[in-house]
Each structure stands twice: as C-alpha cells, then as structure tokens.
Amino acid sequence: MGKKRIGGRFNLFQVVFTLLEHRFLSKYDVKIQLLLYQIQMLRDRIDDPRIIPTPDERAELLRLGAKIDHDVADVMKVVKPKTYRRWLSPKPEKGGKTNASGRPETAEEIVALIVRLASENIAWGYKRILGELKKLGIGIGLTTIRDILKRTGHKPSPQKSKTTPPIEWSDFIKANMESLIATDYFTKPIYTLFGKFDAYVLVFIHLGSRRIFMTPPTFNPDDQWLKIQIRSAAMWLDGIGVTPKYLIHDRDKKFSKMFRKFWRTEKVKLVKIPPRSPQANAFCECVIGTTKAQCLNHFICFSLAQLDYINRQWLKYYNNERPHQGKDIGNNILRPDFTPTSEGKIVRHESLGGVLAWYERAA
C-alpha cells in the first residue's frame, strides 16, 4: 500500500508539474524571444558593430553563462559566441610572453584630442582633422579617426553644400548660445463685460543667460503695436549687454515683413523653425510653459492692466530671484552680481499674494 501511495503522489506531482510547465514555460520562452529581438533591433541601429564590454560586464556575462554550462550560442548578442569562448580560455601567467594580434589601440590622449577637435569645430570632417593632427606631429590613420568619431557620436564627414555646411540643430544652439535669442507669442484669456477675449504677449529669451523680456499684453498684435515692442526688446538686449546674431521664431504670420526688416537692420539673422516643430524653439516654449504653470494659471484676469501687472511681477521674480535648473546654470539665480552668503537671518519675500515666494538673508 505504501508503494502505491508514493507512486500515486509521484504521478500527481508529475501532472501538476506538466500543467505548470504548459502554463508558464511558453510565456517565458516568448519573453526571451521578445528580449532577443529587441536587442537585435538596437544592434541594427548602432553604427559601430563592435561593443567592447568592461571587465565587470565580462565577469557578469561569464557568471551567468556558467549557470547554463556556457551554452550561449543562441542568446549571446552583445559579442560573438567565439569571443565569449575566448574569454573562457586560461590567461597566461604574469611575466609570460603573449603574441599581440591586430593593430595597437590608439592612445587615450590622442582619442581625447580627436574628440576635442570634432567638438570645437563642428564643420570639420575626419580628413580635416587628419591634416590638423599632422601639423601637430601626430601620425594616425584616416580610418582610425573615422572610427573614433563614429564611436563617440560625431559625424565623420559633415555634409557640404554650395554655401554653408549644414549642422545639427543642437550643435548650432550650443555653438551660438551667447548670441542667440528666441521669441514666441502666448495668450491669456481676459474676461470682460463684453465676453472673453484672448490677450497676446510676446516673449523674448536670451539663450546664453536665460533672461527674458515680455511685452505688455494686447488684444490686437498688429504692426503698429509690434514695432514699439521689438524696439523695446532691442533696448532691453542692449541694456543687459547682449549683441544678438540670430533670432529664432516660428512661422506665425504675426512675425510680419516689418518685423523681419527691423531685425535685419539690427544685423540679426532670422532663423525660422520648420512647420509644426515647437521643439525647435524649446527654450522659448519652456519659458512660456513655466510662466503659465507657476504663475498665470493661478489667476483669472479681467483687464489688460491686471495681466500686465502680473507679468511684470513674474518677470522681476524670474530674472532676479528664481533659481534655474538648466544643466549649465546649476540651480542658481540669473542675477550676475549675486553672491550666496551663509550669514544673516533668513527672510521670506512674497509677491502676487504668495504665488511667488523667495528667501534671502537679511543684511
């Protein structure tokens, strides 16, 4: 009887295991196939097919591979299976002679110099960099420079046109931050006795300092109003010591012929972003979004004068008291003459009924 009971239990366990296997193992296999396919998709999008694991990554791959007796031919996608098998071979003892194979690696300081030349001169290709390295007495192959540029995310050979070689938009922004300004409109509804009307405000931002300028609001942003506002913006730029070379704006028809003519007389080149591409004017869009989220959305406006007052208080706060989190600003305020201090009583200041608040140490 005892043997029959044990056999019956064993058969029951077998049935349960089979059911569980059919229930979960198929899903597990599909998940593995899905992960492998996604890895292959990513590999197909990498310019340089070589992926060089770090020593820690190699050790982890070997540790996991040991759990399946290093049978990794069908799942090893980061490196070739023969490379994995080579890792398993014993290393020669210290002091032993090894036969070096392949060309020696490029010195780190030369790689860093190539990356520096490519970063500081965005229109240079690998042939131009080769010539510069020859001047500096550095001998290196053309294809080596090209491979280094690919591996570090730089274009080996920028495209050339009949005029100026085109560059990536992000590279253009980085290279001209101090001479770049951007502008855009935003609206705020005004509730009057005659109904709801949209008030228009024009915002300018200097990308280098992140300081902003706002025009008074209007219901009718025509050329007569716009001419006064852009003159005021030019005076503001002169007051903060900025000489703009480029002005980014969208294709809104309110940026009229008069608008373009004025800035050209100021020797400012207009850069019109592509249609339906607000991300190309990201700095200005971000300022408008922040203005609405942290200030204007807290108010219902009943007159242009009220909106103008709110905007002026926000402008004063934004340019002088609000810490900014841009990676090149470091969560500091924009006032160039500000110096943090750790002495004195901490005092809270408020504006617009406490919607805007900041702290400072009393003198």
Query: Looking up tokens 């920028």, which residue turns up?
Result: 158
Are 231 and 342 in contact by the 8 Å Cβ rule? The answer is no
Whole-number Cα distances in Å, 320 to 40, 220, 307, 336: 51, 30, 20, 9
- Amino acid at position 84, single letter: Y
Kind of pairing between the strands at 269-272 and 346-351: unpaired
- The confidence band for 159, taking pLDDT boundaries of 50, 70 and 90, is low
The reported pLDDT for the residue numbered 5 is 53
Asked whether residue 214 falls in the same domain as residue 328, the answer is yes
Total domains in the chain come to 3
Q: What is the pLDDT of residues 104-130, one digit of tens each?
A: 678 888 888 888 888 777 667 888 888
Domain boundary among 139, 166, 193: 166
Q: What is the CATH number of the domain that holds 178?
A: 3.30.420.10
Mean pLDDT to the nearest integer, 152-163? 60
Asked whether residue 132 falls in the same domain as residue 162, the answer is yes
Q: What is the pLDDT of residues 238-281, one digit of tens each?
A: 999 999 999 999 999 999 999 999 999 999 999 998 888 888 89
3-state secondary structure of 239: helix
Asked whether residue 191 falls in the same domain as residue 319, the answer is yes
| CA–CA distance, 70 with 59 (Å, rounded to integer) | 13
Length of the chain: 363
Are 63 and 25 in contact by the 8 Å Cβ rule? The answer is no
Asked whether residue 151 falls in the same domain as residue 21, the answer is no
Domain boundary among 40, 55, 87: 87
Kind of pairing between the strands at 180-192 and 246-249: parallel
Residue 320 lies in a domain: yes
Give me 332's structure tokens.
């500091």
Residue 144 lies in a domain: yes
For residue 43, give its domain range. 2-87
- Amino acid at position 202, single letter: L
Asked whether residue 43 falls in the same domain as residue 147, the answer is no
Domain boundary among 120, 135, 166: 166
Asked whether residue 121 falls in the same domain as residue 44, the answer is no
Asked whether residue 75 falls in the same domain as residue 202, the answer is no
Asked whether residue 194 falls in the same domain as residue 155, the answer is no
Give me 198's structure tokens.
């949209």
| CA–CA distance, 210 with 110 (Å, rounded to integer) | 36
Query: Looking up tokens 């008030």, which residue turns up?
Result: 199
Residue 103 lies in a domain: no
Q: What is the pLDDT of residues 235-247, one digit of tens each?
A: 999 999 999 999 9
**HSE toward the beta carbon, residue 264, CA cutoff 13 A:** 7
Are 350 and 321 in contact by the 8 Å Cβ rule? The answer is no
Residue 94 lies in a domain: no
| CA–CA distance, 331 with 13 (Å, rounded to integer) | 62
Percent of the chain with pLDDT over 70: 79
Asked whether residue 181 falls in the same domain as residue 321, the answer is yes
3-state secondary structure of 87: helix
Mean pLDDT to the nearest integer, 78-98? 69
Asked whether residue 295 falls in the same domain as residue 229, the answer is yes
Asked whether residue 203 falls in the same domain as residue 317, the answer is yes
Are 269 and 246 in contact by the 8 Å Cβ rule? The answer is yes
